[in-house]
């Protein structure tokens, strides 16, 4: 079974600064998907960024980028130019590419606070 670990329960960063959230995972599969989801106080999970394991290039979405280290099974999220609206819980998630397997395995989350 796959597991996802987020070792930082809480992080804080000054507005406009850069912060990195850590995520490690364990799997025996060679191909899979990794995601970062954001959950603000509204509770709705919002996709931040995704990475296909077969792609060596790290995904980037505007101010958000990942450092995907497949051999180390590490998938960290970097947020640049942090904004007040980035304050939320951030969850790292894993999904198998096996057809029909929709299960997302989530980490325990990191609560990110933005300091004005």
Partner 1 sequence: KAGVTQTPRYLIKTRGQQVTLSCSPISGHRSVSWYQQTPGQGLQFLFEYFSETQRNKGNFPGRFSGRQFSNSRSEMNVSTLELGDSALYLCASRNRAVNTEAFFGQGTRLTVV
- Contacts to partner 1 by CB under 8 A: 33, 35, 37, 42-47, 50, 52, 91, 100-109
| Closer to partner 1 by Cβ: residue 18 or 103 | 103
Asked if 75 and 66 touch (Cβ cutoff 8 Å), the reply is yes
CB atoms within 10 A of CB 48: 23
Nearest to 88 by CA among 109, 104, 67: 109
Least CB distance to partner 1 at residue 104 (A) = 7
Asked if 13 and 114 touch (Cβ cutoff 8 Å), the reply is yes
Q: What's CA 106's distance to the chain center, in Å?
A: 10
Asked if 24 and 93 touch (Cβ cutoff 8 Å), the reply is no
| Closer to partner 1 by Cβ: residue 47 or 115 | 47
| Closer to partner 1 by Cβ: residue 99 or 116 | 99
| Closer to partner 1 by Cβ: residue 2 or 76 | 2
Least CB distance to partner 1 at residue 45 (A) = 4
Least CB distance to partner 1 at residue 46 (A) = 8
């Amino acid at each position: 079974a796959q597991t996802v670990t987020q070792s930082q329960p809480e992080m804080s960063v000054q507005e406009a600064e850069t912060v990195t959230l850590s995520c490690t995972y364990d799997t025996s599969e060679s191909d899979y998907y990794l995601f970062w989801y954001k959950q603000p106080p509204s509770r709705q999970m919002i996709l931040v960024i995704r990475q296909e394991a077969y792609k060596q290039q790290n995904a980037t979405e505007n101010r958000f980028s990942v450092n995907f280290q497949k051999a180390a099974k590490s998938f960290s999220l970097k947020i640049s130019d942090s904004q007040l609206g980035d304050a939320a819980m951030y969850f790292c998630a894993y999904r198998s590419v096996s057809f029909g397997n929709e299960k997302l395995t989530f980490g325990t989350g990191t609560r990110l606070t933005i300091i004005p």
